[in-house]
Amino acid sequence: DAGVTQSPTHLIKTRGQHVTLRCSPISGHKSVSWYQQVLGQGPQFIFQYYEKEERGRGNFPDRFSARQFPNYSSELNVNALLLGDSALYLCASSHRTGGTQPQHFGDGTRLSIL
């Protein structure tokens, strides 16, 4: 079975622009989570979606939004990009919501803001 896939793998944007990152979960997984990982740090939780509903939100500004589609794929949108948004954005899927499930990660989208 295919693992979690993310697109694009790399992206370069300038300050003030908008970006959309995409994630396809493992087949059968209904939960998708998004993380931001700055170089040298651990992943920071942004959102979790389960059955198309938001189940958790991290400490990120309203410029960050996400949604989950009927096929359980997900998009992360970031508006008014800042230099500090440069990071690796990771998507993870699991069968169900909650912390009892191992999460399966994609290899991320590397976002660079100029």
Smallest separation (angstroms) from another protein to the CB of 66: 13
CA distance 87 to 67: 20
Structure tokens at 65: 């939004």
Least distance to another protein from the beta carbon of 64, Å?
14
Give Cα 90 to chain centroid, integer Å. 5
For residues 7 and 111, what is the distance between their CA atoms, to the nearest angstrom? 11
Show contacts with another protein in window 17-36 (CB under 8 A): 33, 35
Pairing of strands 87-94, 104-105: antiparallel
Closest to 101 (Cα-Cα) out of 39, 32, 43: 32
Residue 68 or residue 103: which is nearer to another protein going by CB? Answer: 103
Report 45-104 residues binding another protein (CB under 8 A).
45, 48, 54-58, 90, 92, 97-100, 102-104
Closer CB to another protein, residue 92 or residue 111? 92
Q: Which sign, positive or negative, has the C-alpha torsion 69, 109, 61, 96?
A: positive
Stretch that binds another protein, among 14-22, 62-70, 74-82, 105-113 (CB under 8 A): 105-113
Interacting residues with another protein (CB under 8 A) = 4, 33, 35, 41-45, 48, 54-58, 90, 92, 97-100, 102-108
